[in-house]
């Protein structure tokens, strides 16, 4: 089988034009050999024969985001736009038809040298979704950096007491209570409105996230996130003390919550915790107290208890020591009983 020789394009890529089933196709590659090998594979039926739309990777990503803009969460759109601006830049100007597994793998490798595995995986996830739409027959096998386990660090009992005491009477008191005690997400706290309160019941039914055009209201993260919670009297009193500026109860951005909470931790001399760690605290305290998984799952707004098993399968450090003490005591009793039996 004879394959025409590849010609170099002004862009530096190489192109081979072949006839397949009466259709003239342009096959491109990053080198002369790469283009000719790909053309040979197409000719023999070992590779896809369908042509990709004539657009660059960057244009395809732009179209993908614009087409699904009304479906994606504002925060998802913001994340995709960040990838479009900052990552995969070595292939953004390539034609979709020029993408090969080798080209993509090189781009992934380049990112993996200085970016976190999560960032690399997110960037490739967007590219993969775009390819599934505009080159559905192209399914490259790409090796991605392994996921790194995300350790959960939560305040212990003395630290919780110190945080609550330091936050008392400040603008951070209510957000900290809602996250640490009731398990609300930062976005759910921002989305709370006065109309969501009925007596001592709180309806968690919306969230505010940061999109490409600033803060935007949306539904809860999952269907299960729409839930009713009983408000403890302690928190209800703090809510009633809030100034009614508009329909929203809390008027802090996510960034403001994070920074103010970090400053509070530094001020009282506790370890640095993320604001989201307070939500982990709510789940951990409930599980350490022996609350059934199903109830904790509903309270946290999880669809299943998989998140509890995978992420919250631990207790607070003081509880770990307590349980370890119980185990040690049990074995000590067994050992003493055996010794007494032997002495007899």
Sheet holding 201-204, edge to edge: 197-198, 201-204, 227-230
> The dihedral of CA 277, 283, 288, 293: what is its sign?
negative
Neighbours of 243 (CB within 10 A): 7
**3-class SS of residue 74:** helix
Classify residue 96 by its DSSP letter. G
Q: Looking at residue 338, what is its pLDDT?
A: 57
Pairs from 166-170 (Cβ < 8 Å, separation ≥ 24): 166/264, 166/267, 166/268, 167/264, 170/264
Classify residue 248 by its DSSP letter. B
- The helix/strand count (H/E) of the chain reads as 14, 8
Q: Looking at residue 6, what is its pLDDT?
A: 86
pLDDT in tens, the chain (344 residues): 677 888 887 767 788 888 776 667 777 777 888 778 878 887 776 555 445 678 899 999 999 999 988 888 899 999 999 999 999 999 999 999 889 999 999 999 999 999 999 999 999 999 999 998 888 778 899 999 998 766 678 888 889 999 999 999 999 999 999 999 999 999 999 999 999 999 999 999 999 999 888 888 888 877 778 999 999 999 999 999 999 999 999 999 999 999 999 999 999 999 889 999 998 888 888 877 778 888 888 888 887 777 666 665 555 555 656 666 776 777 777 767 656 666 65
CA–CA gap between residue 177 and residue 18 (Å, rounded)? 67
Q: Are 144 and 108 in contact (CB under 8 A)?
A: yes
Q: Looking at residue 307, what is its pLDDT?
A: 66
* Terminal C-alpha separation, the chain: 93
Q: Give the closest residue to 200 by CA, choosing from 228, 242, 177.
A: 228
Q: Looking at residue 219, what is its pLDDT?
A: 85
CA–CA gap between residue 245 and residue 248 (Å, rounded)? 8
Q: Looking at residue 45, what is its pLDDT?
A: 60
CA–CA gap between residue 248 and residue 243 (Å, rounded)? 10
Neighbours of 230 (CB within 10 A): 13
Q: Looking at residue 124, what is its pLDDT?
A: 97
Give Cβ neighbours of residue 63 (< 8 Å, ≥ 6 apart).
Answer: 55, 134
Q: Looking at residue 61, what is its pLDDT?
A: 96
Q: What is the DSSP string of 182-198?
A: T---HHHHHH-BGGGEE
């Amino acid at each position: 089988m004879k394959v025409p020789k590849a010609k170099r394009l002004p862009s530096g890529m190489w192109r081979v034009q072949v006839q397949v089933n009466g259709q003239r196709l342009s096959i491109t590659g990053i080198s002369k050999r790469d283009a000719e090998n790909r053309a040979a594979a197409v000719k023999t039926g070992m590779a896809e024969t369908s042509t990709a739309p004539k657009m660059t990777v960057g244009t395809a990503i732009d179209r993908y985001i614009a087409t699904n803009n009304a479906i994606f969460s504002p925060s998802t759109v913001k994340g995709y736009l960040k990838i479009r601006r900052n990552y995969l830049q070595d292939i953004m100007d390539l034609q979709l038809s020029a993408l090969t597994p080798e080209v993509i793998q090189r781009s992934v490798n380049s990112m993996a040298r200085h970016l976190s595995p999560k960032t690399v995986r997110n960037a490739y996830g967007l590219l993969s979704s775009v390819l599934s739409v505009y080159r559905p027959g192209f399914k490259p096998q790409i090796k991605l950096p392994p996921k790194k386990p995300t350790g959960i660090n939560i305040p212990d009992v003395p630290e919780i007491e110190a945080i609550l005491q330091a936050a008392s009477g400040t603008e951070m008191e209510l957000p900290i209570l809602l996250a640490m005690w009731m398990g609300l997400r930062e976005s759910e706290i921002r989305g709370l409105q006065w109309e969501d309160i009925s007596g001592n019941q709180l309806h968690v039914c919306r969230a505010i996230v940061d999109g490409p055009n600033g803060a935007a209201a949306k539904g809860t993260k999952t269907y299960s996130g729409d839930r009713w919670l009983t408000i403890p009297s302690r928190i209800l009193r703090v809510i009633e003390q809030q100034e009614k500026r508009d329909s929203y109860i809390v008027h802090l951005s996510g960034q403001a919550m994070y920074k103010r909470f970090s400053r509070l931790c530094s001020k009282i001399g506790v370890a640095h915790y993320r604001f989201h760690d307070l939500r982990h605290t709510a789940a951990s305290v409930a599980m350490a107290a022996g609350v059934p998984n199903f109830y904790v799952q509903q309270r946290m707004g999880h669809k299943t208890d998989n998140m509890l098993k995978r992420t919250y399968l631990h207790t607070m450090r003081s509880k770990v020591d307590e349980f370890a003490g119980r185990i040690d005591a049990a074995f000590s009793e067994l050992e003493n009983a055996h010794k007494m039996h032997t002495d007899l």
